[in-house]
Amino acid sequence: MNGLPRRYHITTFGCQMNKADSERMAGILEDMGFEWSENPQNANLIVYNTCTIRDNAEQKVYSYLGRQAKRKHQEPDLTLVVAGCVAQQEGQALLRRVPELDLVMGPQYANRLKDLLDSVFAGNQVVATEEVHILEDITQPRRDSRVTAWVNVIYGCNERCTYCVVPNVRGVEQSRTPEAIRGEMEILGQQGYREITLLGQNIDAYGRDLPGSTAEGRHLYTFTDLLYYVHDVPGIERIRFATSHPRYFTERLIKACAELPKICEHFHIPFQSGDNEILKAMSRGYTQEKYRRIINTIRSYMPDASISADAIVGFPGETEIQFENTLQLVDDIGFDHLNTAAYSPRPGTPAALWDNQLSEEIKSDRLQRLNHLVNVKAAQRSQRYLGRMEEVLVEDQNPKDQSQVMGRTRGNRLAFFQGDINQLRGKMVRVQIQEVRAFSLSGDLVE
Residue 161 Cβ vs ligand SAH, minimum distance, rounded to whole Å: 6
Please identify, using beta-carbon distances, which residue of 310 and 324 lies nearer to ligand SAH: 310
* Cβ–Cβ under 8 Å, residues 343 and 312: yes
Determine, following the binding rule CB under 6 A, whether residue 170 of this chain makes contact with ligand F3S.
yes
Determine, following the binding rule CB under 6 A, whether residue 245 of this chain makes contact with ligand SF4.
yes
Among 341, 394, 406, 415, binds ligand SAH (CB under 6 A): 341
Determine, following the binding rule CB under 6 A, whether residue 14 of this chain makes contact with ligand SF4.
no
* Cβ–Cβ under 8 Å, residues 157 and 173: yes
Give, as ranges, the residues between 338 and 367 that touch ligand F3S (CB under 6 A).
none
Determine, following the binding rule CB under 6 A, whether residue 164 of this chain makes contact with ligand SF4.
yes
| Partner touching 167 among ligand F3S, ligand SAH, ligand SF4, none, CB below 5 to 8 Å by kind | ligand SF4
Torsion, CA 136, CA 51, CA 17, CA 285, rounded to 10: -110
Please identify, using beta-carbon distances, which residue of 298 and 309 lies nearer to ligand SF4: 309
Determine, following the binding rule CB under 6 A, whether residue 346 of this chain makes contact with ligand SAH.
yes
Please identify, using beta-carbon distances, which residue of 145 and 174 lies nearer to ligand SF4: 174
Torsion, CA 317, CA 320, CA 326, CA 327, rounded to 10: 160
Determine, following the binding rule CB under 6 A, whether residue 310 of this chain makes contact with ligand SAH.
yes
Comparing CA positions, the residue from 59, 62, 120 lying closest to residue 96 is 62
Among 18, 79, 139, 201, binds ligand SF4 (CB under 6 A): 201
CA 209/CA 295 separation, integer angstroms: 27
Residue 372 Cβ vs ligand SAH, minimum distance, rounded to whole Å: 18
Determine, following the binding rule CB under 6 A, whether residue 52 of this chain makes contact with ligand F3S.
yes
CA 392/CA 415 separation, integer angstroms: 7
Preceding amide of 409 cis, omega within 30: no
CA 144/CA 282 separation, integer angstroms: 35
Indicate the DSSP class of residue 327: H
Distances (CA, A) of 352 to 51, 54, 94, 115, 317: 18, 12, 21, 36, 12
Interface with ligand SF4 (CB under 6 A): 157, 159, 161, 164, 166-167, 201-202, 245
Interacting residue ranges for ligand F3S, rule: CB under 6 A: 14-15, 17-18, 51-53, 84-85, 165-166, 169-170
Binding site for ligand SAH (CB under 6 A): 53-54, 163-164, 166, 201-202, 243, 245, 270, 272, 310, 312, 341, 343-344, 346
